[in-house]
Structure formats: C-alpha cells, structure tokens
Amino acid sequence: MQPTKVDDTDGQNTFRDGDDEALLRLYRQHLSALYNYGYNLARDRSLVEDAIQDVFLYLYQHRDGVETAQNVRAYLMQSLRHRILHLLKSRSASQELTEANAFLVDTTQEPAWVRDEADAERSRRLKHLLNQLPKRQREALYLIYFGQLSYVEAAQIMQVDVKSVYNLVYKALTTIRQTTGVTDWLLVSAGLGLFAESFQKNFS
C-alpha cells in the first residue's frame, strides 16, 4: 500500500485529528469514480469492492501517518490501482484475460451524439479502434478523457512520469488519426471526449 496521504484542501485534514465522519465523507465523495476506474481495470466487481474497502481500511488504520496530497482522488485511484494489481497477482490464471479486457469501451450502447446510420457507423469504427489499442494507451485515455484528470494526476495513478503519459496519449491519437484519416488533432481529441460515456460505467 502507498504512503497514506489526504488532501487538506478538500477539508480532509479533520480526518487526521480523529474525525471518523471525515473518512466517511471521503468515501462517499469518491466511491463512484473509484468503482468505475477499478472495474475498468479489473472487470471483477467483487475484487474491486474488496480493494476499495482495503484502501479505506488502510487509511483508517494509518491515520497517524497521513501526509498531504495535492489531489485526493488521484491518490485514492493510485492506491486502488496498486491494491487491485496486488490482488490480481493471486489470480494469475485470469490475469491475461483481465489485461485484454481492461478499459474497453462499451460497444452495446451508442453515444448520445449518434443521430443517424452514418453516425452509428463512425461510432462503431472508432469504438473498435479504441478497443484495439494497447491496454496502457487505453488506460491513459480513460484517465484523461473519462476521468478528466490532468496528465500529472494520470502519471501519479499509473506510477509513471508525465512524459510517459503524454507519449501514451500521443501514440493512441496518432493511431486514431492514421486509421480514420482525420488529420486535425483537435477533432480527434474532441471525438474522444464524445466517447467518454462509452467506457464501462458500473456505479452511479
């Protein structure tokens, strides 16, 4: 588990002073984002629920060692990622399948912007293309476009440097440009924003 950090700017400093309600507020505030990220990573509802409980239990047990984090959601997602990967190691038989299925967009629902058959065909093509990207590229796109996190926050969660996240996103966008024939970077980026809702969302 990562060193315990809580964001004072979110008013969570009271947790360090023994306020259990502060931890409960932290849990309620970030549960939806944590669950959706965790499920997209592991595709195992029970495992994700256990991992989230483990993260908050660790926070509760180590409140005396709490440090300040600039972004509490990024820290919690980083901790959850670390815990999920640890749990997956004990299920090595399913790890390869999990890697293949992580951060796939939902092909069963159409985005709200689809209005006609031409839109639907573009939607199907882009979804297929997104799902063919390497897992790490899909995760970076998920964090930036669905999680609406900064590159710095995404790097913290993925435990890589910021340049690596930029490279992952750049490679993904380059693949999309080359495959779709769309040459305008802004159009590609805007198009991905429209697909944010298509990532598997299993908690609201």
Quick one: 75 and 18 in the same domain? yes
Query: Of 94, 126, 151, which marks where a domain is finished?
Result: 94
> According to the model, what pLDDT value does residue 6 have?
47
CA distances from 167 to 103, 144, 185 (A): 18, 13, 15
Please indicate, yes or no, whether the overall pTM of this predicted structure exceeds 0.75: yes
CA distances from 40 to 62, 114, 119 (A): 28, 24, 25
CA distances from 80 to 4, 72, 121, 165, 166 (A): 12, 12, 36, 19, 22
Q: How many CA within 13 A on the CB side of residue 195?
A: 30
CA distances from 178 to 67, 104, 175, 185, 198 (A): 45, 20, 5, 11, 22
Query: Is 111 among the domain residues?
Result: yes
Q: What is the mean pLDDT of each run of 10 residues along the chain (204 residues)?
A: 46 59 88 93 92 93 69 90 89 61 71 60 76 91 88 95 96 86 62 59 53
> According to the model, what pLDDT value does residue 197 have?
58
User: Which CATH number is 135's domain given?
Assistant: 1.10.10.10
